[in-house]
Amino acid sequence: MSDIIDVQPSADRMASLKTVGIVSYALHTIVALGAVLPGLQGSLVLLLIALIVDMVKRDDAAGTWQESHFRWRIRSVIWAGLLYVITIPLWILFILPGWIAWFVISIWFAYRIIRGFLALNDNKPMPM
């Protein structure tokens, strides 16, 4: 028996991870567009589904270039969520500044999702 571990991920594993990434980015895109475009409200449920899938599957991507995409998506959701919560007082005290803050956060979130989607499509990792 050999103690050598195969660190080269299989083509099937990489394809499966990429499919998970595409589905996750697609769900994030629906939510991001819904946050920016009036009348196209994405569901928080879709965002939570994508986040849970990413958290469950990220260990499968450990040691591959796709690991950075799982980290990228998870961080994007967590940061956007924190920023939305922090700016809730703007909605309570002043409607317009709250709307502007959430619009800016939504644009930032959409940018991160689109940037990640394009990198995944090109088989490139995301920066730390």
Is there a domain that residue 4 lies in? no
Q: What is the pLDDT of residues 68-77, one digit of tens each?
A: 999 999 999 9
Number of domains forming the structure of the chain: 1
- Quote the pTM value: 0.84
Is there a domain that residue 84 lies in? yes
Exposure letters 48-61 (e unless 16+ CB within 10 A, then b): eebbebbeebbebb
Q: What is the pLDDT of residues 109-124, one digit of tens each?
A: 999 999 999 999 999 9
* CA–CA separation, 66 and 88 (whole Å): 34
Q: Which domain holds residue 55?
A: 12-121
Is there a domain that residue 51 lies in? yes
Is there a domain that residue 73 lies in? yes
Is there a domain that residue 6 lies in? no
Could you identify the residue written with the tokens 């099937």? 12
CB-based contacts of 22, cutoff 8 Å, min separation 6: 117, 120
Is there a domain that residue 1 lies in? no
